[in-house]
Every structure is written in structure tokens, then in C-alpha cells.
Structure 1
Amino acid sequence: MLAIILGMLIVVCGVLFLRLHAFLALFFATLVVAAATAPACVLESGLDNRTANIVATSDLKLELTDVGDQFASKPGAYCVVRDKSDVENLKADFIWIDQFEASEAGTTATLRDSLTADSNPVGAELVSQGDYQQAVKLAKSSPSSRVANASGQTFGKIGVLIAMASIIGQCLLSSGAAERIVQGIRQSLGEQWTTLAFVISSFILAIPVFFDTVFFLMLPLAQAMARRTGRDYMKYVMSIIVGGTLAHSLVPPTPGPLFVASELNVSIGAMAIGGIAVGIWGVIAGYFYMIWANRRWQIPLRVHQTEPSEASPADPSQLPSFGFSILPVVVPILFLGLNTVNQTWPFDSNNALGSVANETISFLGDKNIALSIGAVLAMSTLILKPNMTWVGLSKSVQAALSEGGVVILITCAGGAFGEMIRQTNVGESIAQSLPEAVSGTGLLAMAFLVTLIIRVIQGSATVAMIAAIGIVVPVATQIGLPFHPVYLALAIGCGSKPLPWMNDSGFWVISRMSGFTEKETLKTFSVLLTIMGIASFLATLVCALCFPFV
């Protein structure tokens, strides 16, 4: 536990006081936690959920209890492990098991050969030879090696996704497709529903584009509307925040929800559907607070434009069509959602056409393929722009990958940090210290509060989600979930929203760009995100209770 506290202090102090880059703060904290973790704890974490306790023997039979979720349960070579405290001198008996039989009374393993008289395995743990050797190798490896391997595993999960999402966002901005989406939604809803158009537009754009970029894009439109109407500037600014901020923490492929989903083995499609489902309630709550706040306070437009064109919408004739513009966002979500549905209700595989349909949906719905298709569509909107050259396309993609590369570094360091926390075996310690009643909704509340505390201390929503998942997942593994793990991922995303203040970069982006004072930003942006985060979390609780999807 001391190693984890030290690691958290390094992250918080490094980001907050020393102004270190988030990657460096996470990386240094990861090395410290790895170096301070005893090899026995690493071994224990490597065998977590992969063992079964031997409680009795008879003839060629072993009676097993507490069978882990990832226990092999297949015929083959197994190890009987008695003492895991001394990794360097660890000894285990090797046996061969021909068959496993599960019943209500427990699990029985049938041995190929009789046990020797001096090798009584009762009270020991049974683990497959492959899992045992892998765990021992991990425990004996150096801290730096474990950190490097964990970083590589994180990249394998989400590195390509972040790169593709960065390309989608950059190309939508450079081609004018993002602005076309905003204009199209606003025109379809009408002038009187401009704020609703801003909410919908910013929510859609925040799925592939970072929130601060969405805010930069849409703020000139809000300022233009405030000049045209002469009022409601605060409402226009808040409508952008209402739509864009929750998608940033709940809907992949933005890094936070993408990383949390991968750590919990939640499909990207399920995370996207769940994020939209609970995020809508946060958006509704934020929308009503926006209306109330706009009636209570009036914040004037204080930003003076130097060039008239800066706050004016682009010429519609120079922008791609609305349908073409929105394809890079809609198509990946459609493929991911279709694959999620198909996994639950697949076509009949015995039918040739059904088998082809399943394989096609599985291929297109693969997270890397779906996002790559979206990136190709986004690049198409840019290359078809008037006067655009292949050199210009190359520069836009290069800029996107440069920005995405930084995000990948931070996320991989965060993934390694979470893995090093898991290797301390803290999950078992926390789970044992919690009351027996803490399960289900109690675990959701814990995930929400842990993320909220980290968010308030160090400011970044993404870093808070990355740090929290390393603490929450081991506890969830020990306690077990009575609902789909997507709800735990959503609770962490909701916890990253409340109480943003001066240590949050988004706070200063909104304050300085919109012309709000610090006090005005606190009572608009900070209160708004707090209300939305709590409302979305309550929606998550209700959904977990009513629709557990176990």
C-alpha cells in the first residue's frame, strides 16, 4: 500500500507542482511502484484467478474449491504450489491431469498417476504449468522490464485506435467537415433551437475529436450568434460544454474511455452504446442547468475579434456535404455497434450465408478495422477539398499523428502504472478490508469516488481515469460483478467529470477563450460538469440495477 501511495504522490505532485508532462510523471511513478513491489506479490498477482485450492484427495482424484475464473480446467500438466513467499527458491510438484468434472458440490480433477506418499497436496494450490511458469518469469524479471512489457501491452490494445482517432479528428477539422456538421444540424433544427444544435454538434464531434479542439472550433460560432442576437452569450458557450464534455469521458475512441474499456475487457461498441445511453441523462441535466443559469446571470461577450472572418461561418459551398462529413464518425460507430449486437444474437452459422455474414460483421466490427475505415473516410473529405494536394493531406495526417503520439505515450505509461499497482496485489487487500456488503452498486460508488478524488487533486480527467482503473480493477476481480463490466467503466468515466477547478487545463481554456472571469467559470463550467457527472452516474446505477446484462 505504501508503494501505491508513493506512486500517487509522484503523479499528483509531478503534474500539479513540478509541472511535469503527464507521461513523465506517470512513468517515474510506475518505476517507483514496480521497484517497491516484492517478487512474492508479483507472483501472487500473476497467479490471481488462475488457481484452485486442493481440499481433499482420494485414489486418483483431487477435490477442488475456489476455482479461479481463469483457471485452465483442461487436461494437461499442472503444478502443485505450497509456498509462494520465497520466489527465488520456489518449488512445485508437477502432475498430469486427464479430466475435470464440475458439479454443484465442486470440481474434481482425475490424475493420470498416483501421488507419492510424501507429496500430500491438501491445502496447496493447483495451477496449470504454463500459467505457473509465466507467473514465475514475471516475478523474477526486473522492474524496468515489467514496466516496458506493460507499456507494450497497453499499446497493443489501444495504440492504433488513438492514432486513427487523431487522424479522423484532424481531417474533419482541416476539410471543414466538422463545421458542416454544426451548420447542418443547426439548419435542420432552426434558428430558435440553436443551443440544442450546438449541444448535438459538440457531442457528435467530441467522439473522435478532443474536447478542447471542439471548443476551439465551435466558440466562433457561439460568438457570432451572440453578436447577432445581442444576448445569451453564456448560454451558447455552455451549450458547447454540455454536448462535448461527457462524450470525452464516456464514448470511445477518446483515450480515457478507450483505455478503461480495454482494461475491463469491454468491447468498444458496448462502451460507446453505454456511454451515449447514460451520457444523455447528464446532457439533459446540464441543459436544464444551462437554461436556469442563463436566466439568473448574464455574461456579456467581452472578446473583440480582429478579423471579421474569424467568427463567421465558412462559405457552405466550400464545405463537403453533410452526409459525407458525418460518415467518418457514424460508420465506425455503426460497425462497432453491429458487431456488439451480432456477438449476442449471431446469424445461424450452419447456414452458409449466415456464416459469411458473421465473419464479415466480425471483420468490419473489429475496433482497429472500424476506426481505420473511419480514418480513410476522413482523409477522403480532406483530399476532395478544393485546391487540396497530397502534400497537404500528408501534413494534416502528420500533425494528427504527432498529437496522437503524445496521447499514446501518456496512455501507455498510465497502462503500465495500473499494471504495476495490480502487481502489488492491492486488490485482495482492499477487498478483504471492505465490508461484505460492498458489492455491486457499492463498487460502482467506490469507482466513482476514487476517480473523482484523483480528478480533483491533479486536474486531468484522462489521467484520473487511467489512475483509478489500476485501483478499481483488482478490487472488482476479487469481489466479482453482478452486472456487465461496462457499468464499472461508465462509473469511472462519470467520476472524472465533477469539481473541475484551476488545476484543470480545460478550466483555463474555457475561461480565457470565452472571456469568462475565474468566478464566472467556476459557477458555469465547474458546477455544470459536477451536475452532469452526478446525473450520469445516477443513470449508471439505475441501469446496472434494472438491466445488469450479466
Structure 2
Amino acid sequence: MLAIVLGMVIVICGVLFLRMHAFLALFFGALAVAAATSSLSVSQSVLHRSTAGIAEIDGAQIVLADVEEGLAKEPGAYYIAIDAPAVKAHQELRLVWVERFVEEDGITKANVAQELPGEINVANARFVSQDTFREAQQLAGNSSINRVVNALGSTFGKIGILIAMASIIGQCLLASGAAERIVHGIRHALGERWTALAFVISSFVLAIPVFFDTVFFLMLPLAQAMAQRTGRDYLKYVLAIVVGGTLAHSLVPPTPGPLFVATELNVSIGAMILGGIGVGIWGVVAGYLYMLWANRMWQIPLRIEAKEAISEEPSAERDLPSFGFSVLPIVIPIVLLGLKTVSQTALPATTNEVWNSAITFLGDKNIALSIGALLALATLFCKPAMTWVGLGKSVQKALSEGGVVVLITCAGGAFGEMIRQTNIGAAIAESLPSSVGGTGLLITAFMITVIIRVIQGSATVAMITAIGIVVPVAMQIGLPFHPVYLALAIGCGSKPLPWMNDSGFWVISRMSGFTEKETLKTFSVLLTIMGLVSFLATLVFAILLPMA
């Protein structure tokens, strides 16, 4: 526990007080946790999630109890170990060969190749595969820096390509004018009366591949132009952008926070997208209603000169790509990911091997985002007067910006892995009451994320830090529902109570011309309401539609 506290102090103080880059703060935090963790705890962190207890030994059959999810249940070499996590001496291990596992009335039994003596003390015995035991011993023998570096590399392998492709999609949509076309298309479809709703939908769609700050910069000039033309409702237009974009930033991949959380919980990107949209829409509705109420309560004037960054002139729109072409880089990856998720979870197994192979390949998260990046490049390449040199510069800019995000996210992955290696999951799971399983764990995950968010400000860092604490507990307790709900609870927890230590707070305040007090009573309250309502929706869906 002291190792985790030390790491969190380094991360929070580094970001909040020393103004340290998030990558450095997370990296040094991970290194400190790794150095302060004993080799025994590292070994336990592997074995506790990959072993089973032994209820009884009956000749050549071992009756297992408390079977952890990490136990492979495949034929092969296994150890019967007394207090397996603490075992170091070879003579305390008994090697057996399991021929097959049998499930009878919910009880798992292992049939072994030889008769076992009855004097084995099964009260303290654990059952673990030989490969897992060796992996635990090898990991425990690695140096602190090697464990951190390996965790960095592992995280990059999971999400590095995804973030790079998402950065290319976002940059190309902006540079080609496709983002502008999406805004214009949705606004024209709904009409000027529903301009605020058009802003909500546009910012939600754009925030899926584009970071929220960029979406806000993109759409704010249009909000200012509308307020200047009508002479009212400036607050409504600004909050409409926030309502649409902020929840997508924390709930819908491929933005880094939800992407990382989904990856750590082994939730498919398609399931996370569908789940994020499913619970996020309730937060959007609540935010929209608060936006209308706030706009009636406070009339905040447009204090800065409106900028025509997104022109409303028809002549300017003629130079933009078509609406259908503009949304393809966003829609196609979502469709491919969704098809794979639905195919694997909801549809019966098909005998068509060609279809299975095609869906498996095209629905892979890296392939789907790569296809989206190619389509985004096509929108930019079709822009008038675009050259190969200009295309290359746009890609270079996207990868430069995305590279920083990759570094931060990978450092966060290393930090979370070092927290898991302290074996905190088993310690917390044993100390928590049994009621914490299920919805109690969702509430715990939500509250942990909220606390970290309030302390250090960054929603993404809060999600990355919280997942390192929550995942080991979830693995020990077990989940009676799909892990996507745990991922969504963490995403919702990254929204409430933004204040002066949040960079987004200052972006909204300074760019919009709001005072600090106005930003607190509008933006901060809005995000808190949206986070709470989305979390309540997550709880309801987890209870009514567990999908366990």
C-alpha cells in the first residue's frame, strides 16, 4: 500500500505542483512503485489471479475450489503448492500431470495421471500450472526498470497504432474541411431553430476521432457568429458544444482514456463504442436540459469579437467535401467494429468461413482504424490544390501530436501495471465486504476516479490511474456483468467537479470569455450532472442487462 501511495503522490504532485509533463510524472511514479514493491508481491500478483484452491484429493482426482479466471484449465503440468505465492523452495512443490478437467454441477475437477497420497494438507494448498509459476518467478526476478519498460512496450502494442491512426483521422478531417462539412450538414438538416441541438450532435460525432479541445476550438467561432447575429443565447451555444463533445471524450474510443480503459479490461473497442453511446446519450440529454435552464437563468454576453473560422457563406461550403464523404472516416470504423462485436456476441455461429475471416480481419481494431485513416487521407488528398508534400506534412503533424499522447498513455499503462504487481487487488478484495461485488464495485470505481480527477485535474490521467487500482480488485472479486460496465463507470467518474486545476476549465473560460465564477456555475456544474446521470444509466443497464 505504501508503494501505491508513493507512486500516486509523485504523479499528482508532479502534475499539479511541479507542472511536470504527464509522461514524466507517470513514468517516475511507475518506477517508484516498482522499486518499492517486493519480489514476493510481484510473484503473488501473478499467482493470485491464476490459481485455484484444493477442496479435496480423491485418488487420481483433485477437486478444486475458488478457481481464478487466469487458470487455463488445459491438460499439462501443474504444481500442488503449499501457500503457492510464498513458495521458493523446490521441495515444497509437488508436480502432477493433468489429463483433463471436468465440470460437474458447477464444481471443477482435475483428473491426474497418478494416484496422489492422502496426507497432502489441502487446507493451505494451491493449484497452479507450471508455466504460470515459472512466469511469476521470472517476473519477480526482473529489475524494477525492466518491469516498467516491459509494461511500456506491452501498452504500446495494445493501443499505439490505434492512437496514431485516430490522430491521422482527426488531423485530416480538420485540414480537408470535412469537419466543417459535418457541422454544416447537421445544422442545415435540423434548421436554424435547432442550431444548439446541431452543435450537440456535431461535437459528439467529431469528438470520437478528434480531441475535445480541438473540437471546441473548431466550433467556438460558429457559436460566436451565431450569438453575434442573434444578439442572445451565447451561453447556450457554448454549452451545446461542451454537452456533445465532453462525454465522447471519456466514453467512446478511440480517444485515449476510454481506449486505454477498455484495453485493460479486455473489452472490445466495438463494445466500448456501443456502450459509451448507450449510456452517454442519457448524460447528453441531462446536460442539454441543464443547458436550456442555465441559458434562461444567466445571460452571459459575447465579450470577444466573433471569428469566422467556419464560414456560413454558401460559396465557402462549395469548396468542402460532400457530407457522405466527410463522415466515412468516422462511420466505417464504427460499423466494422460493431459488426465484429455483434457477430461474436449476438449472432449464431455461421459455417461461412469466408464471412468469419472477413469480419475477423476487417473488424480488428487496428485494421478498422487504419481503414478510417486511409479514408481520411482520401478526403484531404481530394482537396483542391493539395499536393503530396502537403499531405505528408499533415500526416507528420498528426503523428507528432499523437506521439505525445502515446507516450503519456503508455506511461499510464506502466504505472497501472506496477500498481497491479503490488498485489493490491487481493489485499483490497479480502478487506471489502461481499456486497462490494457487482454494483458496489461500480460505485467504488466511480468514486475512485472522481477523487483522483478532483485532486489532479486531468480526466485521462484519472482514468489511467483508477484502472490500475480497480482491475486487480475486479479480477479477485469477479464481475456479475460485462466488464464494459466497469469501463463506463470509470469513464463517467472522470467528468464530475472540474475546477481550476483542469486544463479544460481554462480552455472553456479563456476562449469563451467567461469569468472563473461563470465557468464554475455553468461548465463545472454541467459536467458534474452529465457524469452522474451517465453513471446512473450505467448502473441501471448493469442490473437490467448484465450480459455476463
Sort the TM-score into its range (normalised by shorter chain).
Answer: over 0.9
> In the TM superposition, what whole-angstrom CA distance separates every residue of 1:75-114 from its partner, at most 9, and x where no partner exists?
2111222245656646523221222222127333222234
Amino acid at match of 2:495: K
Q: In structure 2, what residue type is equivalent to 1:211? A: F
Matches of 1:68 and 1:168, distance apart in 2: 40
Report how far residue 304 of structure 1 moved: 2.1
Q: What RMSD over aligned residues (CA atoms) do the two structures have, in Å?
A: 1.6
Partner of 1:78: 78
Q: Aligned residue for 2:28?
A: 28
> Does the CA-based 8 Å contact 1:87-1:139 persist in structure 2?
no
The answer to whether the 8 A contact 1:39-1:87 is kept is no
1:226 paired with 2:230, answer no
2:395 is matched with which residue: 394, 397, 408?
397
Q: Aligned AA for 1:430?
A: I
Report the residue type matching 1:374 in the other structure: G
CA contact (8 A) 1:257 1:489 kept: yes
Alignment correspondent of 2:5? 5
SS at match of 1:516: coil
Distance 1:289 1:374 in 2: 35
SS in 1 for 2:318: helix
C-alpha distance in structure 1 between counterparts of 2:354 and 2:122, whole Å: 49
Structure 2 stretches lacking a partner, 5+ long:
none
Distance 2:191 2:184 in 1: 10
Question: What's 1:59 paired with?
Answer: 59
1:361 equivalenced with 2:362 (yes/no) = no
2:334 alignment partner in structure 1: 333
Which of 461, 464, 483 in structure 2 is aligned with 1:463? Answer: 461
The residue that corresponds to 2:48 in the other structure is 48
Give, in angstroms, the shift of residue 117 of structure 1: 8.7
Question: Tell me, what secondary structure is at the counterpart of 1:312?
Answer: coil
Range 128-137 or range 23-32, more displaced: 128-137
Please state how far the C-alpha of 1:480 moved relative to its aligned partner: 1.2
Looking at structure 2, the residues matched to 261 and 332 of structure 1 have their Cα atoms a distance apart, in angstroms, of: 17
Asked if structure 1 preserves the Cα contact closer than 8 Å seen for 2:218 and 2:309, the reply is: no
Partner residue in 1 for 2:124: 123
Aligned letter for 2:492?
A: C
Structure-2 separation of matches of 1:312 and 1:368: 35
Gaps of 5+ in 1: none
Where does residue 450 of structure 2 map in the other structure? 452
Partners of 1:227 and 1:105 lie apart in 2 by 68
Q: Which residue in 2 is equivalent to 1:39?
A: 39
Q: 1:529 to 1:105 in 2, by over 3 A?
A: closer
2:200·2:244 contact (CA, 8 Å) conserved in 1? yes
Distance 1:465 1:512 in 2: 26
1:113 corresponding residue in structure 2: 114
Aligned 1:180-219 pairs, distance under 5 A: 180-219=181-220
State the alpha-carbon separation in 2 of the partners of residues 173 and 228 from structure 1. 25
Q: Quick check: 1:372 aligned with 2:394? A: no
Rounded to whole Å, the distance in 1 between the matches of 2:163 and 2:515 is 34
Deviation at 1:70, TM superposition (A): 2.1
Aligned to 2:304: 303
Q: Name the SS of the counterpart of 2:78 in structure 1.
A: strand
For 1:187-244, what per-residue CA distance to the aligned partner results, in whole angstroms no more than 9, with x for missing partners? 0000100000000000000000000000000001001111111111111111000000
Secondary structure of residue in 2 paired with 1:318: coil
Q: Distance in 1 between matches of 2:349 and 2:3?
A: 52
**Once the two structures are superposed, what CA deviation does each residue of 1:471-505 show, in whole Å capped at 9, x if it has no partner?**
11111111111111111100000000000001000
Tell me: CA distance 1:188–1:105, structure 2 relative to 1, closer, same or farther (3 Å). closer
Contact 1:47 1:131 in 2 (8 A): yes
- Corresponding residue for residue 387 of structure 1: 385
The residue aligned with 1:93 is: 94
Distance 2:353 2:425 in 1: 41
Shift of 1:311: 5.9
The answer as to 2:439 corresponding to 1:441 is: yes
Task: Specify the code of the residue in structure 1 equivalent to 2:279.
Answer: V
> CA separation in 2, counterparts of 1:104 and 1:274?
33
Structure 1 pair 122/110, CA: closer, same or farther in 2 (3 Å)? farther
State the distance in 2 between where 1:171 and 1:27 align: 31
Distance 2:257 2:326 in 1: 25
Q: Please give the per-residue CA displacement for 1:99-155, whole angstroms capped at 9, x wherever unaligned.
A: 222212733322223447987666321211111111110111111111111111111
Q: Does the CA-based 8 Å contact 2:262-2:268 persist in structure 1?
A: yes
Structure 2 CA distance for aligned equivalents of residues 273 and 55 of structure 1:
41
SS in 1 for 2:158: helix
Verify the 8 A CA contact 2:48 2:85 in the aligned structure 1. Answer: no
Cα distance change on mapping 1:120 and 1:437 into 2, 3 Å: closer
Counterpart of 2:209 in 1: which secondary structure? coil
Between the aligned partners of 2:88 and 2:249, the Cα distance in structure 1 is 46
Q: Distance in 1 between matches of 2:440 and 2:525?
A: 25
Question: Pick from 520, 523, 548: which aligns with 1:522?
Answer: 520
8 A contact 1:76–1:96 mirrored in 2:
yes
**What is the alpha-carbon distance in structure 1 between the residues aligned to residue 385 and residue 449 of structure 2?**
47
- For 1:348 and 1:542, how far apart are their aligned partners in 2? 30
CA contact (8 A) 1:87 1:140 kept: no
Q: Which moved more, 1:107-116 or 1:20-29?
A: 107-116
| Distance in structure 2 (CA, Å) of the matches to 1:132 and 1:7 | 27
What's the TM-score, normalizing by structure 1? 0.96
46-55 or 89-98: which moved more? 89-98
Give the paired residue count: 545
C-alpha distance 370-125 of structure 1, shift in aligned 2 (>3 A): same
- Separation of aligned partners in 1, 2:113 and 2:85: 29
Q: Distance between the aligned counterparts of 1:446 and 1:198, measured in 2?
A: 34
TM-score by length of 2: 0.96
Provide the C-alpha distance between the structure 2 equivalents of 1:252 and 1:17, rounded to a whole number of angstroms: 30
Q: Which residue of 2 is the match for residue 321 of structure 1?
A: 322
After superposition, the Cα gap between the structure-2 partners of 1:304 and 1:97, relative to the gap in structure 1 and judged at 3 Å, is same
Aligned to 1:174: 175
Following superposition, the deviation at residue 48 of structure 1 comes to 2.4
Residue by residue, what CA displacement relative to the aligned partner does 1:11-47 show, whole Å, maximum 9, x if unpaired? Answer: 1100000000001000001001111111111111111
Alpha carbons 1:223, 1:311 under 8 Å: kept: no
Indicate the residue corresponding to 1:430 in structure 2. Answer: 428
Whole-angstrom CA distance in 2 between matches of 1:342 and 1:299: 49
Counterpart residue identity of residue 256, structure 1:
G
* 8 Å contact kept, 2:275–2:488: yes
Residue in 2 that maps onto 1:499: 497
Q: Hey, what's the Cα distance between the residues in 2 that align with 1:218 and 1:76?
A: 59
Identity %: 68
Contact 1:61–1:111 (8 Å) recurs in 2: yes
3-state SS, counterpart of residue 498 of structure 1: coil
Q: Using the alignment, how far apart are the partners of 1:59 and 1:348 within structure 2?
A: 40
Shift of 1:347: 5.7
Tell me the alpha carbon deviations over residues 372-409 of structure 1, each in whole angstroms, 9 at most, x when there is no partner: 00000000000000011111111111111111111011
Matched, 1:411 2:409: yes
Task: Please say if residues 346 and 358 of structure 1, whose CA atoms lie closer than 8 Å, have aligned partners that are also in contact.
Answer: no
SS at match of 2:196: helix
Evaluate the alpha carbon distance shift between residue 345 and residue 541 of structure 1 in structure 2; reply closer, same or farther with a 3 A threshold. closer
Paired residues of 2:45 and 2:421 also in contact (CA < 8 A): yes
